[in-house]
Amino acid sequence: MTRLLRLFTVVFCLAVFGLAVPAAAVQADSVRVLPISGDIDDGQAAFLQRGLRQAEEEGDAAVVIPINTLGGRVDSALKIRDLLMASNVPTIAYVTSRAWSAGALIALS
């Protein structure tokens, strides 16, 4: 009986892992990286707008935004915040070194 239980456990585990591998392979989509560094200005906002649009059009799984900035223009930061909040693609922001002022707003968005 113990031998049969072990065999059943092995077969069950193989079946579960066998079903999980193709699912993981299907979800191995691309992730777009859009770094924000230096002064936050209209150029950064346009760069992020273009990158988020491309990510949506190309079906990226997520957008990663590494942030290293001391801040910049508030109007540009607000535009970036609005872009991130309206995006259909999940966004992941992380601070590589600094995120002051406008950078903190973007990181929290």
Does residue 62 lie in a domain region? yes
Residue with tokens 């649009």: 53
Give the integer Cα–Cα distance in Å for 82 and 103: 14
Alpha carbon distances (Å) from 73 to 25, 45, 94, 103: 42, 10, 20, 10
Does residue 24 lie in a domain region? no
pLDDT per residue as tens digits for the range 33-84 = 999 999 999 999 999 999 999 999 999 999 999 999 999 999 999 999 999 9
Does residue 57 lie in a domain region? yes
Average pLDDT, whole number, for the chain? 83
Q: What is the DSSP letter of 55?
A: H
Does residue 4 lie in a domain region? no
Say which residue, 20 or 33, is predicted with more confidence: 33
CATH code, domain carrying 54: 3.90.226.10
Domain count for the chain: 1
Does residue 64 lie in a domain region? yes
Say which residue, 92 or 5, is predicted with more confidence: 92
Q: pLDDT value at position 42?
A: 96
Q: Could you tell me the residue range of the domain that residue 76 belongs to?
A: 30-108
Does residue 59 lie in a domain region? yes
Of the pLDDT bands very low, low, confident and very high (cuts 50, 70, 90), residue 6 is: low
Q: pLDDT value at position 29?
A: 76
Does residue 20 lie in a domain region? no
pLDDT above 60 (res 11): no
